[in-house]
Amino acid sequence: MLTALILSLLMGPFVINFLSKNKLGQTVRDDGPIEHLKKNGTPTMGGILIISSIIISTLLWSDLSNEYIWIGLACILSFSLIGFCDDLKKIKESSTKGLSAKRKFLAQTLVALVLGYVLLDNIADPLVQQSLLIPYVKDTSILLNSFLFIFLIFLVLVGSSNAVNLTDGLDGLATMPVILVACGLTILSYVAGNIIFATYLGVPYIAGGGEVLIISAAIAGASLGFLWYNTYPADIFMGDVGSLGLGAGLGYIAIIVKQEIVYMIMAGIFVLEVLSVILQVGSYKLFKKRIFKMAPIHHHFELSGWAEPKVIVRFWIITAILVLVGLASLKIR
């Protein structure tokens, strides 16, 4: 965590300078809050800084003979690459659209299915790793067949990556929740990889799975360093290259340690952002009426009179509470 933090802090000024010199700036949508127009041209694709810090730190500190590490890095890199293509298209066309929704979703789906197949082929104990753990209830889980297991991986990876992407609409709004959730997953990973603690707390023991805590700790550290430059008013945005990679990375760790439902609880803000978009689009298509003033929901609060920093910090506080609720599942059974 410290290594990723230091790397992120040290590389930050160089990355910001490089992006500024090459005019790799964000194009801000003109139908949102008017205050956002001043952010037009702010360097984007800062996720390169986060992802590179995560990869370097993981390679330095992890057990490189552990397959979960390599699959995890492949997951993060693959989704980041999709985000990179999306960001690049936005910059070249000076647009907010980027890749079409169909192409983006298709690419995410293909990566998720390939990763699902690879994980299925490498799991040591199917009875444990193909089970969906039900939290807050003692010794309760649902055993999934191979098809449902891969489908679950698809849902978590694609859903998580897009959820973080949608949340990344205000300065630091997505960054701090990523840090908090990553810290929660680090604790869950340590427990899952330690047979004594896993047995005592009644959670599945995942042989070798605890090693992914290196990735989750690196995510937290790299994101914390990035937040130094991304906090309001932001000097740099993470872009899709960061949000898609981070979302997929968090989802991957939750899958490995069998805490997919707990992850959804801890990442409640991300879930809320996705639901707000689904409800808004569905309501407008069906009834020609909007539920919110604007979606994702953080824009609704802005248009309702909340200052941007107030929206950001309150979402951070909610995430901190949800992470604690998620961690409480270790004892509440």
- d(CA 127, CA 135) in angstroms, rounded, equals 17
| Radius of gyration from C-alpha coordinates of the chain | 19
- Residue at 289 is within a domain: no
Cis peptide leading into 233, omega within 30 of 0?
A: yes
Residue 156 belongs to what domain range? 2-261
pLDDT of residue 95: 80
Per-residue tokens: 289: 């009426």
Q: What are phi and psi of 143, to 5 degrees?
A: -80, 125
Residues of the chain with pLDDT under 70: 29-32, 124
- d(CA 302, CA 300) in angstroms, rounded, equals 5
- Residue at 58 is within a domain: yes
pLDDT in tens, 200-239: 999 999 999 999 999 999 999 999 999 999 999 999 999 9
Number of domains in the chain: 1
pLDDT in tens, 186-198: 999 999 999 999 9
Per-residue tokens: 145: 């067949």
- Residue at 330 is within a domain: no
- d(CA 264, CA 98) in angstroms, rounded, equals 27
- Residue at 150 is within a domain: yes
DSSP string across 244-311: HHHHHHHHHHHHHTT-HHHHHHHTHHHHHHHHHHHHHHHHHHHHS--SSSSSSHHHHHHHTT--HHHH
Query: Are residues 155 and 274 in contact, defined by beta-carbon separation less than 8 angstroms?
Result: no
Q: Which residue has the tokens 């694609």?
A: 158
pLDDT of residue 31: 64
Query: Are residues 99 and 86 in contact, defined by beta-carbon separation less than 8 angstroms?
Result: yes
- Residue at 309 is within a domain: no
pLDDT of residue 254: 97
pLDDT of residue 128: 86
